[in-house]
Amino acid sequence: MTSISAPGHVTPMVPLAWALRGAGHEVVVGGQPNLVPAVRGAGLCGQPIGEAFEQLLLLRNMLPDGATPIEAWGRVVDPLYASAARTWAHQAHRTVDEYLDFCRAWAPDLIVSEPFEFCGRLLGGVLDIPWVRHGIGLTGRAARFERSAAEALIPVVERLGLKEGAPEPVLTLDTCPPSFGQPDAAARRPMRYVPYNGTGAVPDWALARTGVRRVCVSLGTQTLVLNGVPLLRRIIEAVSGIDGLEVVVALAAADRASLGTVPRGVRVVESLPLNVFLDRCDVVVHHGGAGSSLTATAFGLPQLVVPQFLDQFEYGDRLAAAGAGITMDSAEKQNGVHEIRKAVLGLLDDPAHARSARALRDEVRAMPSPGDTVAVLERVAATA
């Protein structure tokens, strides 16, 4: 398996890796060194390839001081996808030779990659090994992202002697519920999204049956790095002080100091995976990242999305279209404490949102599991 150096891109693949290991197969996850701790934390073999790379620092340097992506650029999707595609295509230039050295020595029978990581498909072409695309979100958008990288990949494709270009996947594993719709994903097979955001223990407060409703606020690490702390503070202000409502703010331990003091009644949890406690919540407020969106969807929760860039806007759109959420897709809306509070109360008080969210959850549960997918991958590897 291969992934770019972003934990949120490898965690969606962890349940499939566990299923493959449980079926008796050897699994190695290759990635740049700063990805390895997340891989090994999931109990998998992490193989460091190349040098550490932090793409968030590049993106933050593109932002005006103190501005979030939505404040700086508005609802921009395709141009940022093209920029990101070029970034990861250039990373493939720098790392593919080390991947090749490792794969020639280890001799895998199958390569599974998330869409942002291009070395996997190059390895498949050079070594004649089947390559499977593992969706980490909206699969149709991933295909468009890959197409936008084609020009940037030409030099490395030519250097590697791939006369027909980088190969297309023999199979795409789509973890989105059918209602989200992925009409342009070739050779698509649905696979249930199994929430995994890390490991931890269920805290006592999540086990207590207090009778109060609970809202979880989680903007992920990426949003906070990209000047998102003021947005987080506005959300907390909007949802605090509501009678009969408990607020849980989930963030990385490294981000706790930047948040500062929070109102009474707001619980801040550090480095506690969403999959450990989200089933005890009633509404989730998040940035529209693939992991947050699909985890909340798998638990059947109404969602308020405050997207910043890329496919985060599309997640908000899909959830709103399904009736399972509300998206605030402009800086004006996100900067209004009253607007945020109104949206959260609407999700809590209108039972239609909860019904639609449960319908999406039922779609997810009806999809083939990662365990069911193992036999499919075995056949792919065996017939290569």
Question: Token pair of 76, please?
Answer: 């921009």
Q: How confident is the model at residue 58, as a pLDDT?
A: 74
Q: How confident is the model at residue 219, as a pLDDT?
A: 96
Superfamily for domain range 7-193+368-382 = Glycogen Phosphorylase B; (3.40.50.2000)
Contact 23, 190 (CB under 8 A): no
Residue type, 174: D
Please determine whether the domains at 7-193+368-382 and 204-366 fall in the same fold group of CATH.
Answer: yes
Q: Residue 87 pLDDT more than 80?
A: yes
Neighbour count for residue 78 (Cβ, 10 Å): 12
Q: What is the pLDDT of residues 62-77, one digit of tens each?
A: 889 999 999 998 887 7
The Cα 176–Cα 190 span in angstroms is 8
The Cα 237–Cα 241 span in angstroms is 8
CATH number for 204-366 (one of 3.40.50.2000, 3.40.50.300, 3.40.50.800, 1.10.730.10): it is: 3.40.50.2000
Q: What is the pLDDT of residues 164-202, one digit of tens each?
A: 888 899 999 999 999 887 655 557 899 999 999 999 999
Q: How confident is the model at residue 185, as a pLDDT?
A: 53
Q: With CA atoms as reference, report the closest residue to 317 among 298, 336, 293, 301.
A: 293
Q: Residue 88 pLDDT more than 60?
A: yes
* Mean pLDDT calculated for residue range 246-266: 93
The Cα 264–Cα 261 span in angstroms is 9
- The ranges assigned to domains in the chain are 7-193+368-382, 204-366
Q: How confident is the model at residue 81, as a pLDDT?
A: 76
* Mean pLDDT calculated for residue range 207-218: 91
